[in-house]
A and B are shown apart, each in its own frame.
Chain A
Amino acid sequence: MSEPNEGHTFKAYDGALSDLRLRAHAMGLLVAEQVETAVRALLESDREAAEGVLARERQINAYQTEIEAESFRLLAQRAPVASDLRMVLAISRAVTDLERAGDESKKIARFALASAGRMSGGPSRVMHRSLRHMAELASEAMRVAVDALDRGDARVAHDVARLDRELDQEFETALRQLMTVAMERTRLLRPIFDTVFALKSLERIGDHAKNVAEHVVFLVSGADVRHAGRDLPARGSQH
């Protein structure tokens, strides 16, 4: 037996794992972009941007189907173990969260289209600040999580968990403010509802980003921290 080298003896296996990782990264970047575009469409009543989000949603679904099929094939043909097995599982799980985050972006884009069609103006006028702030947090959480997945870096999982906590707090605050507005100005009920749904979608995107970060912790350390409470352990390092 010769000395260990960087890759697998069977080079095609390296290629397949690397391809899986690259595709998951491309999908993650697209999802992060969808989140940002959908919120911009809502805040700026930009129909074109909203329609672009809806169109690209099909691409996200295609990524999910391809990556899961490839993971399935790798499990069947290569029987991966140890870090390889954890990577295939982590990516498989992450892809589910990414696809759901994509769905939430689609919902936001639909609200954007609906509100842009109403003469009374979009919800952005009511809750502009909260929406923008939550959008920034959700996009950042998603970008950090996607980057962590690509680099196999569990250290940043903490950052994602912190962003997710901020999103949750922001959502609660925004909800209280919106309830006050709703009681005072009933004619704004419809845009307020739209805003609540959009905020909820952003809050969910934060949850999915946190899930992706937890899958990265599993990838790096083998620890399942999904139900370990709010705080992620600082285990593992750059992969």
Chain B
Amino acid sequence: MTPRPSVEATRRPANAEEALVVKSRAEGLSFYYGAVRALKDLNIEIREKRVTALIGPSGCGKTTFLRCFNRMHDLTPGTRYEGRIILFPDSIDLVDKGVDPIEVRMRIGMVFQKPNPFPKSIFENVAYGLRVRGLRSKPRVEEEVERALRRAAIWDEVKDRLDSSGLSLSGGQQQRLCIARALATNPEILLFDEPTSALDPIATARIEELIAELRDQVTVIIVTHNMQQAARVSDYTAFMYLGELIEFDNTSKLFTNPSQKATEDYITGRYG
């Protein structure tokens, strides 16, 4: 088994003063599915090159919130945003109608619950996004594909079969391939929507390990139902309930001494 990095390598001191840069900020964000207000006036800052976990019971709005960041809702008719999600440093409003969702998705990648590689070769799965970005030079594409596969910690497993179908890989490998695909375009934020819910514990540990490695390179927002996973991989945790942000804090603080009773009840399993 691959040795895990030391605690020092994966955890920052809980109370160390950090020069935190805000990568994105939701300001008075509400979201509507038709007449239903699924998100209610969210205000939250996402710190750069940190992992932020969104937790809460089913229907609390965490996935809805996550999907706002790369305009996934634009594909659903009858939806509407209120408020803003500012992306720094250029201060663009991600949910502004004037901002091109394709451009947003280039800068903000997403990895879904179920691995969804294209029915193409492993190489093409990763190269696709690069070509969409306009990269044509074959050696450059090869270089970037290798780089992305290495960053996603799957290069050693696939380097001898880059022409095999992405669908021939195991579930965990497929998910890491999807992460490589998302990383290929050098996104500034990577969104994970319950990325390990379909995986076994070993494959889950590999993804978590990968997220721990990525935290120094990219800002991560992860939705998870597994609270221990949130506790393990994230620096900050937001607890949501009924479309509202109930509590947002350092993960270590939130899981040892939450300020809100609703958070305490949820994370300790006291909801009937």
Contact = CB atoms under 8 A, between A and B. Distances in A.
Interface of A: 1-10, 13, 79-86, 221-222
A85 B256 contact: yes
Nearest to A222: B257
A145 to B, nearest CB: 22
A83 B272 CA distance: 18
A82 B228 contact: no
B57 A82 contact: no
Contacts of A82: 255-258, 263-264, 267-268
A16 B255 CA distance: 20
Contacts of B59: 1
B265 to A, nearest CB: 4
Contact of A13 (B58, B257, B269): B269
Given A1-B57, A1-B59, A81-B227, A8 B270 contact: yes
Contacts of B227: 81
A84 B270 CA distance: 11
Contact of B231 (A10, A81, A83): A81
Given A82-B264, A83-B264, A4 B257 contact: no
Interface residues of B, number: 23
Contact of A83 (B58, B60, B268): B268
A7 B270 contact: yes
Nearest to B60: A1
Contact of B271 (A1, A79, A83, A84): A1
29 contacts: A1-B57, A1-B58, A1-B59, A1-B60, A1-B271, A2-B271, A2-B272, A3-B271, A3-B272, A4-B261, A4-B265, A4-B271, A5-B271, A5-B272, A8-B268, A8-B270, A9-B271, A9-B272, A79-B228, A80-B268, A81-B231, A81-B255, A81-B267, A82-B257, A82-B258, A82-B268, A83-B268, A85-B255, A222-B257
Contacts of B257: 82, 86, 221-222
A86 B263 CA distance: 15
A63 to B, nearest CB: 26
Nearest to A6: B270
A3 to B, nearest CB: 7
B44 interface: no
Nearest to B59: A1
Contacts of A85: 255-256
B22 interface: no
B104 interface: no
* Most chain B CB atoms below 10 A, which of A9, A10, A83, A86: A83
B262 interface: yes
Contacts of B270: 4-9
A221 B268 CA distance: 16
A156 B63 CA distance: 45
Contacts of A80: 268
